[in-house]
Amino acid sequence: MNSVDMTMASVACIGECMVELRQAQGGHSTGQAGQGGGLYSRGFGGDTLNTAVYLARLEVKVDYLTALGDDALSDEMVAAWNAESIGTRRVVRLPGKLPGLYMIQTDAKGERQFFHWRDSAAARQLMSLPETDELLNSLMSYDIVYLSAITLSIYDAAGRERLFAAIKRARLLGTRFVFDTNFRARGWPDRDVAREVFAAAFAAADIVLTSTEDLLALYPGESHEQLMARIPTPELVFRLAEPVSLLRFPAGTSEVRAEPMTKPVVDTTAAGDSFAAAYIAARLGGADPLEAAQAGHRLASLVICYAGAIIPGYAMPPKKRHRPATTRQATK
């Protein structure tokens, strides 16, 4: 991937951010009605939104593409994204709609269980609005379009087809499509549908970021080689269960191992999301895939030392200078 001026580089992250209710510390449920802590803190969460935050903190120009309601919670989300220097010009606001909501419930042993209320969330309508054509046409103005399997799971078949068609048009003008296989079974009607959509995304992508956790859930029992062979994209990052990535790119294949942890792991939330941000930022800055994967592991190893998806700003690694810009090239 050619390097670009990071003050001009632009990434479109497409997805959904939801209201998050997380049990307050020490307020685990006893499993009996009317008992237990019952105290929850409210925040916001979403895989592609997490990646957008880390991209912005790595000084990449990024817009978040989604739909929200016209309610106070949606206002808070937009304000928080603006505070992180995430562009919100592509956020569609729908009168009378609301964002989705999920709750994290934790038992006395720390095991987590998730509950979702998102069937009527505004983000699910993003591919079927009067504004959709304009939004999809804007994709060709970005250096990279980034989305995840969770993003694809919230649209119907027609919406996904519309999105893929727009991405293919944008690629003709040099936009790169990065697909993250963040797979959550609850978001799909069945695994056959998910496999079909994954195959379409693999065929359209320039870079695929994936993991054994995601792919073995869809293709159980297959070896690493078999799983990687399913993905024809020229650039592939395959994260293993241990902190190791297998890379495949036009110049060859390689293995990148994360440096040993020196601090205790607190929360693995957003490890993959932050890896994706650091990888994309490094590739935009002219790094080769090995250097980009090393950057991904470094940021992910830092993020998991803090509670929650987004670490404090002061904990971010020092900023690096990026290489001079060159012009992006269209896909041939």
pLDDT digits (tens, 9 = 90+) for 128-161: 999 999 999 999 999 999 999 999 999 999 999 9
Check residue 320 and give its pLDDT: 62
Lowest mean pLDDT among 8-17, 135-144, 169-178, 310-319: 310-319
Check residue 25 and give its pLDDT: 62
Rounded average pLDDT over 12-27: 82
Catalytic residue among 47, 63, 143, 273: 273
Q: How far apart are the C-alpha atoms of 138 and 88, rounded to whole Å? A: 13
Is 190 annotated in the active site? no
Rounded average pLDDT over 77-90: 96
Q: Is the pLDDT of residue 108 over 60?
A: no
Q: Is the pLDDT of residue 112 over 50?
A: yes
Check residue 228 and give its pLDDT: 96
> The dihedral of CA 111, 242, 147, 308: what is its sign?
positive
Percent of the chain with pLDDT over 70: 86
Percent of the chain with pLDDT over 90: 68
For 174-229, how does the pLDDT look when each residue is reduced to its tens digit (9 = 90+)?
999 999 999 999 899 999 999 999 999 999 999 999 999 999 999 999 999 999 99
Q: Is the pLDDT of residue 99 over 90?
A: yes
Rounded average pLDDT over 110-125: 80
User: Whole-number mean pLDDT of the chain?
Assistant: 88
Q: What's 10-15+48-95+124-312's CATH class?
A: alpha beta
Q: Is the pLDDT of residue 1 over 90?
A: no
Q: How far apart are the C-alpha atoms of 232 and 217, rounded to whole Å? A: 19
Q: How far apart are the C-alpha atoms of 319 and 195, rounded to whole Å? A: 38
Check residue 118 and give its pLDDT: 82
Q: Is the pLDDT of residue 319 over 80?
A: no
Q: Which residue has better confidence, 24 or 202?
A: 202
